[in-house]
Structures are given as structure tokens and as C-alpha cells.
Structure 1
Amino acid sequence: MERERAGRREWRSAGLSWAGGVPGLRWEAEAGGGSAGGRGPVSPLSYGAGAGGTVSYGREIGFRVVGERRCVGVRGNPCPLRAVVAGRATQAQCGECARLDRSRSVAADTMADDPRPYAVYLAWFGPGMVKVGITREDRGSARLLEQGAVAFSLLGRGPLMAARRCEELLRAGLGVPDRISYAKKRAVRAALPGAAERAAEVRELHARAVELAGWPEALAVVGCEVVDHAGVFGLDGLAGAVGVVRELVSGGCVAGRVVAVAGPDVHVEVPGAGAGVVVVDSRLVAGWVLEKGDAGGGVTVPVKAVEGEAGVQEGLF
């Protein structure tokens, strides 16, 4: 997590990646004058996958925020304006790049002609917190890892528009949303029921889903096979968070030991008396230049309370 020195290009954060089923921070090199410098390395946030599909955590991290947050561009193409982006924005794009991004987006229904097969899924985040969604079949479970789904099962496979119709059918028929906020996901993450209870809720909804009238003929039903990500995310024994980073600011620091990563959320155990686990939403990190910092330096950026808890802190320690 180092910025190259004067006269050399900088490495700017491009957010979190779940490539290969393990989390890491992606970097993009920025050449002088705003031209693209190319993709950089990935800084691992774990020690990699272990036995039984678990991921080993415990890495020490430490970085200091430098300069201004800049737009990350569109699909690997740099922002021509190198526009400044607000620190609290979870999308590290300027308005124009965001519009271009959505012009070819499944989520925005602007890719109806995509010929690739899609999968419909049920994703579980906590008791009573289940959503339905679609993902490109060749992405496997990547979309579910990115969303922080603790457990999930596929429901069907087929053409995009059939998958979209099925998604709408399930939302109405099961009474489940297509979106759950990260604030709600964080609030329950450290107090989840066991794997058997998680799987039972997914199986029950799957059984109800495949019996609904109006299932699109072009969509093949997929039998229930629950995949659990608690071991991948490091949720077993996870301590509740004392706060969530609200935004990064120039000169601010984030440092500690990574104890879990779920979706874009990096759970960092901060050292020092009275400290605890602070959640860093990696979407807020994208677009910043970061310098290497002391792993024992704590957190000096604005922090807010976890949803449902009183109080707001402007910084720790």
C-alpha cells in the first residue's frame, strides 16, 4: 500500500476484489497528466484459503490517506477529467462516468440483449434477511461474495430476460426484496445463528419459490444446494463492531489487524486501550492514494456508530 515517490506514478486504490475466492485491495497506476498507467497489484487482506473452504485472517494493515479522492473511471478506462469525488460516496465515480457505466448495466436494465446465460439466486444475510437477485452464470459465486451473502442457493438458470422475470416473480411471491442495505447486514453479522439454521431458512424459501405459478418456461429450475460463506468471511467468533468508518480524509490513518472480510466490509481490530473492531467499507477506499502506515497507529478518520446504536464519533484515539 505504498505511493511511488516524486517523479514516479502513484498507485490509487481501485477497491476490493474477491478474485479466486479470497479478498484483496486492487490498485491502478496513475501516470502524470491523468493518462492511464495500467492495472497494478493486489494487496491480500488474508493469508489465503485453508481447509474446508475457510479463509485465514489476521494480517496487520496500516495506511495513511494522501491528497484528493479521484474518479476511478469506467470499466478499466480512466476518467478523462480526473474528477474529484466526495469522501462519503460509496461509488467512486463522477456523474459522467457513472452514467456511462450504467449505459451497459444489467442492474439498470440497459443490457437486455446480453446473450450470456444468467442465474437466479436466493441470498441470506441474517434471520429474515433474504434477497433475490441475478448474476451472470460464468461469474460463479463472485457476486454473492461481493454482496457479503452469508449463505445462498441458486434457483434457476437461463436467458437474461427470463431470469429478470423470475426475479420479479420471486419478489412478489415470496415477499423478499432485491436489495438489503449494508448497514443492516453489519448490524447482525457478529450474532448469526448456526449453519444448520441458515441453511434451513434458505431451503424453505427455495421450496416455496419453485412452486410459484408463472415460472418462466425458458428458465431451468436448479435444485437447492446451500453454499455457506461464514468460513470464507471469517465470521465464526467475530466480535461486534464498535464503529464504521464514515469517510476517509487526507492525512487520516487506518491501522490494525484484519479479522474478517464480508462483501466490501473489512473488519479491522484496532489496538489500544478501549479499542475494538472497526468496519472499513472498501467502497470508500476506492479512488484514494494510500501510503504505508504503522500497523499500530489506530484509526484517525471519522467513524460513526453501527446502525441501531447511539452516538457518533468523529475519530478514534
Structure 2
Amino acid sequence: MAQAWKSTGLRWSAERPVLTWAGGRRSALSWGRRVAFGVVEGGVRECAGARGHMCPLRAAVSARSTGGRCEECARLDRAHSVAADGIADDPRPYRVYLAWFGPGLAKVGITAVERGSARLLEQGAVCFTWLGTGPLMAARRSEELLRAALGVPDRIPYGEKRAVRAALPDLEQEQRAAEIAELHAKAVGLTGWPESLTREPFQAVDHVAVFGLDHAPAARGEVTELVAGGAVSGELVAAAGPDLHLATGNRVVVLDTRLLSGWDLVPATDEGEVRVPIREFKTAAPLQDGLF
């Protein structure tokens, strides 16, 4: 049997998606590349562990879990997360941002300055603008101020982001930026901003071309889980956040790479084959002719 690989997730590097594997291996992805793997027969999905450490119990986890962690490892991972207020004394400067994922789907968030726009790429943000820069706690207070005053959340379920993605290329870049432009204008007019936070002018950054959504046909469904003995094979036509959009036969399906963690994966040989559960989208766009 071929050597099994274990996925440690999808990262964005130099505006390109990169699959990472246990042991430090990396697979840089590009449009048109074939993505193909099988799940080892008789395998069980194990907890991905926390903060780079293996789960001491090697606990089994649900095949549908995008977190891929047991309760204890999920708690430990969350306890050291900036997003969960697990770190209060981080000396690094932070940025506050407004991100847009589709009509009516905007959020406010923070990310370390040193990470650049990586956090926005990982979240699948279609476009975004910076709002301000300053110490962590000032950025956190600003995030709370904006969330309450503008009526925008700090989290959006990923299924909602995925559901609106098909219609995004039909909107002009200016239309995609319009909602966060309006929110930015309201934000800079608010009182109560921390003095240590430097506000930044509106400048929309658009990721539709970066994600490949400007040339790819709309996805028709999504992988809901991997199964032992299953397989996925397709041509990469787009990627956004943790999602890979794969052309398989006569349709494009979305694979959330967070579903890969904890499984033993081996190379697949059958081109264009998907032998895992697929959920069809309710409002799929018509298939485009001439992709290949």
C-alpha cells in the first residue's frame, strides 16, 4: 500500500493555496492541477490535536466536523486563540478590518499586522478594507464598538459564505466593494475609537481573481464528509478560504479541506471520480459550456 499522508490544512502563501501535511511537506496548488486522493480502507478519522501537538487519546471524531478535534483538544486550541480573547498581552500591532463575502454578508475582525492579508484569504473574504492599526486591546475594543454600532457580526458561518459565492463574478468590482465602502464611511464617523488606534482610509482589496472565481464555472455541490475507502479526484478551478473547487466529470464540487484532517490519505488513480457523499446546492447556476 502507498504511504499514507495526513493533512494539516490549507494555507495561503503569496496569494496561492498550499496544502500542508504532517512532517512539514507542502503541496502548492495552481489552477488546472489535478487534486486526487483516496481514504485508506478501514480507516477512522482521528482528532487533529491542538497547537501542533497530537491528541493524547487519538480520539475518533465525526467525519462531518470541520474542526476535526475532540472536545478537550478543541478547548485547548481555543484557549490560546486571539479570536477567543485567549491572549491579552500580545505585544504585536494589530489591524481592524471590514470583510465582505457576498450581498448582505459583511463582518468586522482583527488580524496581526505581520500576517498581512493572509487571514482574509483564509476566511474566503471576497473583498476587504483596513479600518485601523494599533495594540491588540485597542483593536479588540474597536472591533466591539464597530460590531455594535454598525450591526455587523465578527463571525459568519462558512456555509453562508459558500452559498453566495456562485453569483459573485456577475457583480462588478465596484459593486462588490460598495457595502464595505458604506460601512467604512459610517465607521470613521463614530465616536469612541481608542486613541491608540490609527484609523486607515478606505481602500478595497478584491480577491475574486486571486480565488480564481472570475474564470471558474459555478459549483454545483459540496463534499459533506470523507469515508473510509472513498476517493476524490478533480481539476482545481478555483479556491477560496479552506475550499477547493474541483471539476469532476460534468460538474464542479467544493471540497472543504478542513474535512481532510485526521484521515490517512493515499494517492488516487481514477481521474474525475468522487466516491464520497455530495450535497447538491439548492440554487445551482447553470453549467457553463467550454470549460475544457
- The normalised TM-score by structure 2 is 0.91
Distance 1:174 1:307 in 2: 31
Deviation at 1:45, TM superposition (A): 2.2
Within the candidate set 156, 167, 181, 2:132 is matched to: 156
Q: Per the alignment, in what secondary structure is the counterpart of residue 23 of structure 1?
A: strand
Q: Per the alignment, in what secondary structure is the counterpart of residue 175 of structure 2?
A: helix
* Residues 112-152 of structure 1 deviation map (CA, whole Å, 9 limit, x = unaligned): 12221111000011122111011111111010000000101
Q: Per the alignment, in what secondary structure is the counterpart of residue 123 of structure 1?
A: strand
Distance 2:76 2:2 in 1: 29
Aligned to 2:95: 119
Aligned to 2:278: 303
Which amino acid letter does the alignment assign opposite residue 206 of structure 1? H
Deviation at 1:40, TM superposition (A): 2.7
Distance 1:196 1:3 in 2: 49
Aligned to 1:284: 259
Aligned to 2:26: 42
Distance 1:21 1:228 in 2: 12
Which amino acid letter does the alignment assign opposite residue 210 of structure 1? V
Q: Per the alignment, in what secondary structure is the counterpart of residue 11 of structure 1?
A: coil
For structure 2, the residue ranges without an aligned partner over 5 or more in a row are 285-292
Which amino acid letter does the alignment assign opposite residue 207 of structure 2? H
2:10 counterpart of 1:16: yes
| Aligned 1:51-90 pairs, distance under 5 A | 57-66=31-40, 67-90=43-66
Q: Per the alignment, in what secondary structure is the counterpart of residue 223 of structure 1?
A: coil
Relative to structure 1, the CA distance from residue 44 to residue 162 in structure 2 (aligned partners, 3 Å threshold; closer, same or farther) is: same
- The normalised TM-score by structure 1 is 0.84
**Is contact 1:258–1:268 with CA below 8 Å preserved after alignment?**
yes
For structure 1, the residue ranges without an aligned partner over 5 or more in a row are 5-9, 29-38, 47-56, 310-317
Q: Per the alignment, in what secondary structure is the counterpart of residue 241 of structure 1?
A: coil
How many equivalent pairs are there? 280
Distance 2:201 2:2 in 1: 48
| Aligned 1:144-293 pairs, distance under 5 A | 144-192=120-168, 193-271=171-249, 275-293=250-268
Deviation at 1:167, TM superposition (A): 0.8
Higher relative contact order (CA 8 A, sep 6+): 2
* Residues 216-259 of structure 1 deviation map (CA, whole Å, 9 limit, x = unaligned): 11211011121111111001033222211110001111111110
Aligned to 2:78: 102
Q: Per the alignment, in what secondary structure is the counterpart of residue 190 of structure 1?
A: helix
CA RMSD of aligned residues (A): 1.6
Which amino acid letter does the alignment assign opposite residue 114 of structure 1? D
**Is contact 1:11–1:40 with CA below 8 Å preserved after alignment?**
no
Q: Per the alignment, in what secondary structure is the counterpart of residue 246 of structure 2?
A: strand
Deviation at 1:21, TM superposition (A): 2.3
**Is contact 1:72–1:79 with CA below 8 Å preserved after alignment?**
yes
Distance 1:297 1:208 in 2: 48
Which amino acid letter does the alignment assign opposite residue 24 of structure 1? V
* Residues 288-311 of structure 1 deviation map (CA, whole Å, 9 limit, x = unaligned): 1111112514111011132667xx
Relative to structure 1, the CA distance from residue 221 to residue 286 in structure 2 (aligned partners, 3 Å threshold; closer, same or farther) is: same
**Is contact 1:104–1:111 with CA below 8 Å preserved after alignment?**
yes
Deviation at 1:11, TM superposition (A): 2.3
Which amino acid letter does the alignment assign opposite residue 134 of structure 2? G
**Is contact 1:119–1:136 with CA below 8 Å preserved after alignment?**
yes
Distance 1:266 1:151 in 2: 18
Deviation at 1:176, TM superposition (A): 1.1
* Residues 76-103 of structure 1 deviation map (CA, whole Å, 9 limit, x = unaligned): 2222222222101110212221111122
Distance 1:307 1:100 in 2: 37
Relative to structure 1, the CA distance from residue 219 to residue 295 in structure 2 (aligned partners, 3 Å threshold; closer, same or farther) is: farther
* Residues 144-171 of structure 1 deviation map (CA, whole Å, 9 limit, x = unaligned): 0000001011101111111111111111
Distance 2:210 2:106 in 1: 19
Relative to structure 1, the CA distance from residue 304 to residue 99 in structure 2 (aligned partners, 3 Å threshold; closer, same or farther) is: same
Relative to structure 1, the CA distance from residue 169 to residue 308 in structure 2 (aligned partners, 3 Å threshold; closer, same or farther) is: farther
